[in-house]
Structure 1
Amino acid sequence: MKNLIQLFIGFSISCIAAHSVAQPNGKALSGADNDDCSEAVLLLAGEACTSGSALGALLTGPSVQCPGKYIQGIWYKYESDFDGQIAVITNAQYNDALTVFEGSCANLAEILCDNRDEFGFEGERSYVNVTSGKTYYLRIAKQIEYYGRDDQQGLCIAIEKRAPEYPVNDGCMNSKVLTINTACVEGSNLLAHFDQPIPSLNSWSRADIWFSFTPTNNKHLEIVSNANFADVLTVYTGNCTNLNEVKCEDLGGRIVLQNPTPNATYYLQVTGYFASLEGNLCIEILERSDQTPTNDDCMQAISLELGRECTRTSNLNARAGTIKSKCMVYAAPDIWYSFIAPQEREVAVSIESGFLYQYGLYGGSCASLAEISCGPSPDPCQGPLVFRNLTAGAKYYLQIANLTRPIHAAEAEICLRVDALSLAPAFEALSLEIEEECLHGILGRISYSVSGGKAPVVYTGPAPEEIFLPGTEILAFVEDASGCRDFQSRRISCTPPSRCAKSDLGLQIERECLMDSIGRATGEVLLRIRGTGGSGAYFYYGTADSTVLSHGDHYQAVIIDSDSCYVVEEGQIDCPPFDCSQSKLSITAQYECIDTLLRARLEVDITGNLGNYSIQGNRSGDLLEQGAAYSVNVTDDAGCSTSISGIINCHFDSCAFARPELLVDYTCVTDTAGNRTGLAILSIDASSFAGGIVVSGHQDGDTLKHGEGFLVTMADSFGCTLQDSGTIDCVPVVNEGAIAHSKAFLYPNPAGLALNLYLPEALGEKCSINLLDHLGRTLSLPNHLEHHRNGTVRVFDTGSLQQGLYLVRITKNEFYTILRFIKT
Structure 2
Amino acid sequence: MKKLLLCLLLLTITLINAQNDECSGATLLTVGTDFTSGAITSTNVGATTDGNPPACNSDAVDNTWFKVVVPASGNLKIETQELTGSSFDDSVLTVYSGACGTLTEIACDDDSGQDFFSLVTLTGQAPGTTLYINVWKYDSDTDSGEFQISAYQFQPPTNDNCSQAIPLTAGTTFDAAVSTFSNEGTTIDGTPPSCQVDAADNVWFTVVVPPSGNISIETREASNSSFTDSVLTVYSGTCGSLTEIECDDDDGEGSFSLINLTGQTPGATLYISVWKYESDTDNGEFQIAAYDAALSTHEVSNSTQKIQVSPNPFTDVLNISDVSKVESASITDALGRVVKTIEKPSSSLQLGELKTGVYFVTLKMNDGTVKTIKTVKK
- Provide the TM-score with structure 2 as the length reference: 0.53
Would you say the 8 A contact 1:233–1:270 is kept in 2?
Answer: yes
Would you say the 8 A contact 1:97–1:115 is kept in 2?
Answer: yes
Corresponding residue of 2:221: 226
| 3-state SS of 1:173 partner | helix
Corresponding residue of 2:135: 140
Which letter does structure 1 place at the counterpart of 2:271? Y
Q: Deviations over 1:525-561 (max 9, x none)?
A: xxxxxxxxxxxxxxxxxxxxxxxxxxxxxxxxxxxxx
Would you say the 8 A contact 2:97–2:131 is kept in 1?
Answer: yes
Would you say the 8 A contact 1:215–1:260 is kept in 2?
Answer: no
C-alpha displacement of 1:55: 5.2
The aligned runs of 1:10-89 (5 Å cut-off) are: 34-37=20-23, 40-46=26-32, 47=37, 49-54=39-44, 57-60=47-50, 62-64=51-53, 66-78=55-67, 87-89=77-79
Choose from 257, 260, 272 the match for 2:260.
257
Corresponding residue of 2:193: 199
Corresponding residue of 1:283: 288
> How many residues matched?
250
C-alpha displacement of 1:114: 1.7
Q: Deviations over 1:223-253 (max 9, x none)?
A: 2343542211122334444444333221352
Would you say the 8 A contact 2:57–2:138 is kept in 1?
Answer: yes
Would you say the 8 A contact 2:45–2:145 is kept in 1?
Answer: yes
Would you say the 8 A contact 1:235–1:245 is kept in 2?
Answer: yes
Structure 2 CA distance for aligned equivalents of residues 48 and 173 of structure 1: 32
Choose from 94, 118, 128 the match for 1:98.
94
The aligned runs of 1:396-407 (5 Å cut-off) are: none
Structure 2 CA distance for aligned equivalents of residues 83 and 244 of structure 1: 35
Would you say the 8 A contact 1:101–1:138 is kept in 2?
Answer: no
Q: 1:203 to 1:79 in 2, by over 3 A?
A: closer
C-alpha displacement of 1:169: 2.1
Would you say the 8 A contact 1:169–1:210 is kept in 2?
Answer: yes
Backbone CA RMSD of aligned residues: 4.0
Which letter does structure 1 place at the counterpart of 2:61? Q
Corresponding residue of 2:309: none
Q: 1:102 to 1:84 in 2, by over 3 A?
A: farther
In the alignment, structure 1 residue 169 sits paired with structure 2 residue 159 = yes
Choose from 103, 121, 124 the match for 1:110.
103
Structure 1 CA distance for aligned equivalents of residues 20 and 132 of structure 2: 12
C-alpha displacement of 1:73: 4.0
C-alpha displacement of 1:208: 1.4
Would you say the 8 A contact 1:226–1:281 is kept in 2?
Answer: yes
Corresponding residue of 1:212: 206
Corresponding residue of 2:178: 184
The aligned runs of 1:616-627 (5 Å cut-off) are: none
C-alpha displacement of 1:33: 5.9
Which letter does structure 2 place at the counterpart of 1:75? T
C-alpha displacement of 1:101: 5.8
The aligned runs of 1:499-538 (5 Å cut-off) are: none
Structure 2 CA distance for aligned equivalents of residues 174 and 67 of structure 1: 31
Would you say the 8 A contact 2:220–2:288 is kept in 1?
Answer: yes
Higher-Rg member (1/2): 1
Q: Deviations over 1:392-435 (max 9, x none)?
A: xxxxxxxxxxxxxxxxxxxxxxxxxxxxxxxxxxxxxxxxxxxx
Would you say the 8 A contact 1:214–1:264 is kept in 2?
Answer: yes
Q: 1:42 to 1:173 in 2, by over 3 A?
A: closer
Q: 1:178 to 1:83 in 2, by over 3 A?
A: closer
Corresponding residue of 1:248: 247
Q: Deviations over 1:424-461 (max 9, x none)?
A: xxxxxxxxxxxxxxxxxxxxxxxxxxxxxxxxxxxxxx
Structure 2 CA distance for aligned equivalents of residues 31 and 284 of structure 1: 53
Q: Deviations over 1:85-142 (max 9, x none)?
A: 5643323653512234665xxx5442653225665655224456564xx976532224
Would you say the 8 A contact 2:44–2:64 is kept in 1?
Answer: no
C-alpha displacement of 1:192: 2.6
Choose from 139, 147, 155 the match for 1:155.
147
Q: 1:53 to 1:240 in 2, by over 3 A?
A: same
The aligned runs of 1:183-582 (5 Å cut-off) are: 183-216=177-210, 217-219=212-214, 221-226=216-221, 228=225, 229=227, 230-251=229-250, 252-261=255-264, 262-274=266-278, 275-288=280-293
Q: 1:166 to 1:116 in 2, by over 3 A?
A: farther
Q: RCO higher in 1 or 2 (8 Å CA, sep ≥ 6)?
A: 2
C-alpha displacement of 1:69: 0.8
Query: Whose strand proportion is higher, 1 or 2?
Result: 1
Structure 1 CA distance for aligned equivalents of residues 109 and 28 of structure 2: 24
Which letter does structure 2 place at the counterpart of 1:98? T
Q: Deviations over 1:167-209 (max 9, x none)?
A: 3222333322110115433333233332333222211011111
The aligned runs of 1:687-702 (5 Å cut-off) are: none
Which letter does structure 2 place at the counterpart of 1:155? F
Q: 1:260 to 1:118 in 2, by over 3 A?
A: farther
C-alpha displacement of 1:70: 4.3
Corresponding residue of 1:554: none
Structure 1 CA distance for aligned equivalents of residues 96 and 261 of structure 2: 49
Structure 2 CA distance for aligned equivalents of residues 90 and 173 of structure 1: 32
Q: 1:142 to 1:102 in 2, by over 3 A?
A: same
Which letter does structure 2 place at the counterpart of 1:97? L
Would you say the 8 A contact 1:189–1:208 is kept in 2?
Answer: yes
Corresponding residue of 1:754: none
| 3-state SS of 2:221 partner | coil
| 3-state SS of 2:81 partner | coil
Q: 1:33 to 1:202 in 2, by over 3 A?
A: same
Q: Deviations over 1:333-379 (max 9, x none)?
A: xxxxxxxxxxxxxxxxxxxxxxxxxxxxxxxxxxxxxxxxxxxxxxx
Structure 2 CA distance for aligned equivalents of residues 78 and 119 of structure 1: 20
C-alpha displacement of 1:58: 1.8
Structure 1 CA distance for aligned equivalents of residues 73 and 208 of structure 2: 41
- Provide the TM-score with structure 1 as the length reference: 0.27
Q: Deviations over 1:277-314 (max 9, x none)?
A: 5322232223348xxxxxxxxxxxxxxxxxxxxxxxxx
Would you say the 8 A contact 2:47–2:64 is kept in 1?
Answer: no
Structure 2 CA distance for aligned equivalents of residues 141 and 190 of structure 1: 25
Structure 2 CA distance for aligned equivalents of residues 82 and 266 of structure 1: 35
Q: Deviations over 1:588-630 (max 9, x none)?
A: xxxxxxxxxxxxxxxxxxxxxxxxxxxxxxxxxxxxxxxxxxx
Gaps of 5+ in 2: 1-14, 83-88, 295-378
Structure 2 CA distance for aligned equivalents of residues 241 and 78 of structure 1: 35
Structure 1 CA distance for aligned equivalents of residues 187 and 236 of structure 2: 21
The aligned runs of 1:764-783 (5 Å cut-off) are: none
Would you say the 8 A contact 2:20–2:66 is kept in 1?
Answer: no
Structure 2 CA distance for aligned equivalents of residues 271 and 186 of structure 1: 15
C-alpha displacement of 1:143: 4.9
Q: 1:158 to 1:194 in 2, by over 3 A?
A: closer
In the alignment, structure 1 residue 123 sits paired with structure 2 residue 109 = no
Q: 1:99 to 1:223 in 2, by over 3 A?
A: closer
Q: 1:171 to 1:82 in 2, by over 3 A?
A: closer
